[in-house]
Amino acid sequence: MADKPTQSSPTVGVEVLDALGRPLSGSLSRGPGAKARASKAEAQKADEGAEEPSEEGTGEVDVELNLPARPSASPSRSDDLLGYYLAEVRRYPLLDPEEERALAIRYQTEGDADAANRLVTANLRLVVKLAFQYHRQWSNVLDLIQEGNVGLVEALSRYDPYRGIRFSSYAQYWIRAMILRFLMDNYRIVRLGSTRHGRKLFFQLQKERDRLIREGVHPSTLALSRALDVPEHEVVIVEQHLAAPALSLNAPMGGPEGRPLAEVVSDDSAVSPEDDVARREMSEVFQTQLTAFAQELRDERELAIWHERLTAQEPASLSELGDRFGVSKERIRQVEARIKKRLKEHLTATLGDEIPIYLETPED
């Protein structure tokens, strides 16, 4: 095993084809301690079940594909974009382990853009193979290939050739992660899997339900939550989202001339007009009584506490008021407590004891 060089590498531009045969623009920054632009946390959110390759994971990945032969005439992209892309990918030969490692070291130590391009293009057919594994979840495989190519470039920016693992084995983790993140973001109009438990249920709920049925166990929400080690209410929420189709609130009900769904579905958080008027009237009554109570205050300290602590947006501290009036902050606290007691008695006498009154003390 060769010693790992310590010199830094310059930033290089790597051009790689997207799913439509167009170049993906951008640069990869590589050097000791350099962080890739894309967040690893985002990729790990998407690939909940995948594990990043370790030094023991040195197995090779079979990337041989039965790609179509290169057509004799240039095909129309509008007729067969996928066939065109597969024909382009077939132009790039695979790398043997020794050549792959040499190119990776050259890219890491020298920032060689040609070496980076060679590593990426040689593994484009790996992206195609992995994208077809998710073809049932997304009809347009070109979208999946596009996202997988992004993961392939991200893998190159993080790959360490001195760990003794093939680049293709390492890259498949990032390729899957980007594809899965794309599926979660676009599978439905309303995004699913925004939490850790939600992501786990998005990919494993149906598989776990089928497994329980095969074992003769009723797949209740409690059984699923215990099997997947997630809260039961999370299972209920995800099941509801997956079982019901996404509907627009503006969609007409019962035909083109029907009422919009928004007029049929009730809004439990909405305030009725009667309650809204009652709240406004009560607010005006309270404001009137607070003004009347403030006019009863005559002591300078009480007025300062009222205006600068109890009714201020940014209350002054007890220490500030204590220093101003030459007393301790404990004495200011006692005066404040006395004002609050008198205020509660005033409001109870004028408004009655049927209305609950809660007075908060400002933080010091």
Q: Are residues 92 and 155 in the same domain?
A: yes
Quick one: what percent of the chain has pLDDT higher than 70?
Answer: 71
- Structural domain includes residue 268: no
Residue 5 covered by a domain: no
Whether 267 is covered by a domain: the verdict is: no
Residues 330 and 229 reside in one and the same domain: no
DSSP reduced 3-state for 105: helix
Q: Hey, what are 296's tokens?
A: 């009863």
285 band by pLDDT with thresholds 50, 70 and 90: confident
Q: Which helix (H) or strand (E) holds 286?
A: helix 273-295
Residues 170 and 278 in one domain: no
pLDDT given at position 359: 67
Residues near 272 by beta carbon (within 8 Å), at least 6 away in sequence: none
179 and 312 co-located in one domain: no
Number of other residues whose CB lies within 10 A of the CB of residue 101: 18
- 289 is in which domain, residue-wise? 274-351
**Residue 316, amino acid:** A
DSSP 166: -
Do residues 188 and 241 lie in contact, with contact meaning Cβ atoms separated by under 8 Å?
Answer: yes
- Check whether residue 34 and residue 134 sit in a common domain: yes
Average pLDDT over residues 110-133: 92
Name the more confident of 318 and 184: 318
Structure tokens at 100: 């792959």
The secondary structure of the chain in percent helix, strand, coil, rounded to multiples of 5, reads: 55, 5, 45
Query: In terms of domains, do 244 and 324 share one?
Result: no
Distance of alpha carbon 77 from alpha carbon 246, whole angstroms: 33
Q: What is the CA radius of gyration of the chain?
A: 33
DSSP H or E run through 24:
strand 23-24
The C-alpha angle with vertex 199 and arms to 152 and 48, in degrees rounded to 5, equals 45
Kindly report, residue by residue over 53-99, the tens digit of the pLDDT. 444 444 444 444 444 443 444 444 434 888 888 888 999 999 999 99
Lowest mean pLDDT among 95-109, 206-220, 236-250: 236-250
Same domain, 176 and 200: no
Do 315 and 226 share a structural domain? Answer: no
Residue 127 has pLDDT above 90, yes or no: yes
Q: Do 308 and 346 belong together in one domain?
A: yes
Report the alpha-carbon distance of residue 186 to residue 2 in Å, rounded: 44
Compute the distance between CA of residue 332 and CA of residue 321 in angstroms, rounded to an integer. 7
Domains contained in the chain, number:
3
Tell me 68's DSSP state. Answer: P
Question: Residues 238-259: what's their mean pLDDT?
Answer: 76
